[in-house]
Structure 1
Amino acid sequence: MFANFMIGLREGLEAALIIGILIAYLKKTDRLQHLPKIVYGIVAAVATALLAGLGLSAIEEHASETAEIAITGVTSLLAVIFVTWMVFWMARTARHLNKELQSKIDTAIETSGLALFFIAYFTVVREGIETSIFLWTAAKTTGEGQYAWVGAFAGLTAASILGYWIYKGMLKINLGRFFKYTGSYLLVLTAGILEYAIGEFTEIGVLPETATAFDLSFITPADSPIEIFLSTTIAYNGAPSMIQAAAWFSFLVITLTLYLRQYRLPWAGKK
């Protein structure tokens, strides 16, 4: 539940901020007559993201056991790719996102009113589909089932409230730090999802079976409070295979090192 809450909170707040930038710029430039096009684009994007999530669930429900495992593995890999790209994209573009969106609005209004619809749609649908796939995969990886979706809903609700407060000037938070730390957390969770995907592909014979790298069950026994906590927050696996452990470690070291450099942290070096 915690993992999906954090996914919903971060992704939801990111989308809320983008929506806030679009609406605030229309208001600032006295172009609120174009607001319905933005709203329609947002609604269409949310509907598309929901359909993507429902589609994944429907496909899985009617698939054979082997196909279900394969679908979960492929979807997990897609989640790894999407989320990693999204985290780095936000780190690179956050500083000039406001100007970039404002420039797109100016161009859209000059060319075609319908272009505003597509700006809102494609800006939000990218976030929505990434979030939908990541939430679906995280729910499978952590094994929480329907409780994971409760966490996701709570996170999205909290993000909507925070986004509204920020837009109205009722709340000021250091968004740079927020995205930096939540991005780091998502990379740790994504490493666990990558490890899970490898386990799925090994189970159906796509990848070879390898020996167990280590077994921490004496520290984190199955179904113990600490094992449940770690599994549901970072997709923890206490007894990974050699290939799973290598993938987890390599992914985490490479992505976190490169990611932290984006923020020029003292211990990560400079660009």
Structure 2
Amino acid sequence: MLSSLFIVWRESVEAMLIIGILYAWLKSNPQGAVGLRALWGGVVAGIALAGLLGWTMLAVQGELAGEALEWFQTAMLFLAALLIVQMVLWMQKHGRHMRQGLERELAQASEKLGVLGVAVVAALAVAREGAETVIFLYGMQMDDPAGSAIAFGAGVLLAGITAWIVNRGLGMLNYRNFFRVSGLLLLLFAVALLAAGTDRLIGMGALPPLVDPLWDTSLLLDDSSPSGALLSAFTGYRARPSLMLAIVYVVFWLAVLRVQRRLKRNA
């Protein structure tokens, strides 16, 4: 549940910071109270869209059984991992200019569509963060809806405190360091989801294990023990990994590091 709590906290902080940026821009804009009402309307619409996605996923799951359900859940694991990687790399490339980009989008939308444009920008921003959160939670806690609900509530509460600290500029949290450290943790979560999806494909016979196990570190740390299970949830650790899983690990990190180096060169 800790990994899910972290995901909700990280995504909610980003959503709240985005709302704060839009709010500050509107406060200094002649549109005044009308624009702020549109902003909050957009926020509500974005949350509703994310909720609709969550309901749709649960409804689809309820209609599936057996092998079809296995494939659906496995696909959601890979989708969640892909979205996490995309989000981290996007923030690495655009994070430093996020405020300027949002303000530019809001100014253009407001000029073309008036207060409706304000609502649309807010709704899309919140819906994106909410949709990512819904998919992450589904991938991490498919069989534990109660745990997802607890993680969601605690994560949103912690995010509210964090966003307040950042917006107050109290110096307790450096914005750039926050996204750097949280980005690394998110990549660890992504590879954990990727490992879970790979294990499922191997178990379904869709992928060959090649060599199984490749090594055995269960005497040092068994992934079925409490500490090993926690490490597995956060990093994808396996005490007895197959060769196929080891290849997935290596390819994942090589690909991520290559893209990160390219982003740094082009920064």
Give the alignment's TM-score, normalised by structure 2.
0.89
Match of 2:196 in 1: 196
Distance 1:99 1:270 in 2: 19
Of 123-132 and 232-241, deviating more is: 232-241
Match of 1:91 in 2: 92
Distance 1:237 1:18 in 2: 37
Could you give the per-residue CA deviations for residues 19-60 of structure 1, whole angstroms, max 9, x where no partner exists? 100001100224322111111111111111122223222322
Contact 1:41 1:119 in 2 (8 A): yes
Q: Which amino acid aligns with 1:117?
A: A
Whether 2:152 is the aligned partner of 1:166: answer no
Q: Which amino acid aligns with 1:220?
A: L
Distance 1:42 1:9 in 2: 17
Contact 1:187 1:256 in 2 (8 A): no
- Unpaired segments of 5 or more residues in structure 1? none
Of 80-89 and 48-57, deviating more is: 48-57
- What is the DSSP-based 3-state SS (H/G/I as helix, E as strand, rest coil) of the residue aligned with 2:141? helix
1:197 CA drift (Å): 1.1
Distance 1:241 1:187 in 2: 21
1:183 CA drift (Å): 0.5
1:231 CA drift (Å): 2.6
Counterparts of 1:65-80 in structure 2 under 5 Å?
65-80=66-81
- What is the DSSP-based 3-state SS (H/G/I as helix, E as strand, rest coil) of the residue aligned with 1:124? helix
Contact 2:83 2:132 in 1 (8 A): yes
1:131 CA drift (Å): 1.4
Query: What is the CA RMSD across the aligned residues, in angstroms?
Result: 2.3
Contact 2:192 2:234 in 1 (8 A): no
- Unpaired segments of 5 or more residues in structure 2? none
Match of 1:125 in 2: 127
Give the alignment's TM-score, normalised by structure 1.
0.88
Match of 2:65 in 1: 64
Q: Which amino acid aligns with 2:120?
A: F
1:148 CA drift (Å): 4.3
Identify if the C-alpha distance between structure 1 residues 184 and 26 changes in structure 2 by more than 3 Å, giving closer, same or farther. same
Contact 1:44 1:121 in 2 (8 A): yes
Q: Which amino acid aligns with 1:123?
A: A
Q: Percent identity?
A: 29
Of 250-259 and 97-106, deviating more is: 250-259
Contact 1:69 1:201 in 2 (8 A): no
1:260 CA drift (Å): 6.9
- What is the DSSP-based 3-state SS (H/G/I as helix, E as strand, rest coil) of the residue aligned with 1:236? coil
Q: Say how many residue pairs are matched.
A: 264
